Structure 1
Amino acid sequence: MRRWYGQFLGFIAGWLLLRHPVGGFIGLLVGYLFDHDAFSRRRPPRPPPADPPPGDADVDWAYRVFGVGADASDAEIDRAYRRLMAQYHPDRVAGAAPELRALAEQKAREINAAYDRIRKLRRNA
C-alpha cells in the first residue's frame, strides 16, 4: 500500500506557505515524490542469515558466540547472553544507519540461536 499523506500535507503546506494555488500544486508534487520514495536511497538487499554449522561444530559455535567454554555454568551463560543482547539488541540502535541496524539484527539472531542451542543441549543432557 502506498502512502497518501505526503500529497495531502504537501498540498496544504504549499498553499499556506505561498498563499497561492500554485504553492498548493508545488506542495502536491513534493508530496507525491515523498509518497513514492523519490527522496530515499535504494537499500541493498539484506544478506541471508548465517546458519550455524552442523554437527558438533554447532555446539562449539554456540559457546564461541558467548565467549565461554563448554564447562561454563548456566549463570555464566545467562550473564553472557544478557550482556551481548544489551549490546546488540536492535532497539538499542533504532536511530542508527540502516547498515548498523541490519548488522545488529543479524547479530541478535545469531545470539538467540546460540542461546537456544545451548539451552536445548543442556535440557537433553
Structure 2
Amino acid sequence: MRRWYGQFFGFIAGWLLLRHPVGGFIGLLIGYLFDHDAFSSPRRHRPSARRAQPPPHEDDQTDWAYQVLGLTEQASADEIDRAYRKLISQYHPDRLVGAAPELQALAERKSREINAAYDRIQTLRKKKK
C-alpha cells in the first residue's frame, strides 16, 4: 500500500508555515519524498545478501567449521560441545520471540550456521575414528 499522507500534510504544513502557495508546493515535494522513502536508509529495506556458506574445498570447510565455533582443530570433544551449547543458546531464534523481524532473521541464519558447523565437525571426527 502506497502512502499518501506525507504529501497531504506536507502541502498543508508548507502553506501554513510560509503563508504562500510556494510553501505548499515545497511541502508537497518533501511529503512526496517522505512517502517514497527517500529519507530512509537503503539497508533497512534490502535483505542481506551475505550468506554464511562453507567454502567448496574440504580443508577449507574444516577451517570454516572450527572458526564458526571459535575453536581450533585440536579442541577436545567437550570443548566443542561447550562452545556449541554456548553459541546456540545465545543465537537460538526462540530466545528472540518478541524482537524485531530483522533480529529474528539474523538469529535464524546464525543458528543455522552454528548447526552446520557443529554437524561438519562431528562428521569429520567420526571419519577419523
Q: TM-score range by the shorter chain?
A: 0.5 to 0.7
Distance 1:105 1:46 in 2: 13
- The alignment's C-alpha RMSD in Å is 1.5
Match of 2:105? 102
Structure 2: tracts of 5 or more residues without a match:
1-44
Shift of 1:46: 6.3
Matched, 1:74 2:72: no
Matched, 1:91 2:94: yes
Of the three residues 120, 123, 127, the one matched with 1:124 is 127
Match of 2:116? 113
For 1:79, give the aligned amino acid: R
Q: TM-score, normalised by structure 1?
A: 0.62
Aligned residue pairs total 83
Structure 1: tracts of 5 or more residues without a match:
1-42
Distance 1:116 1:57 in 2: 15
For 2:70, give the aligned amino acid: G
Please list the CA deviations of residues 82-118 of structure 1 after superposition, one character each: whole Å capped at 9, or x if unmatched: 0000000000011100000010000000000000000
Q: Which runs of 4+ in 1 moved over 6 A?
A: none
Distance 1:61 1:50 in 2: 10
Q: Percent identity?
A: 61
For 2:92, give the aligned amino acid: H
Q: TM-score, normalised by structure 2?
A: 0.60
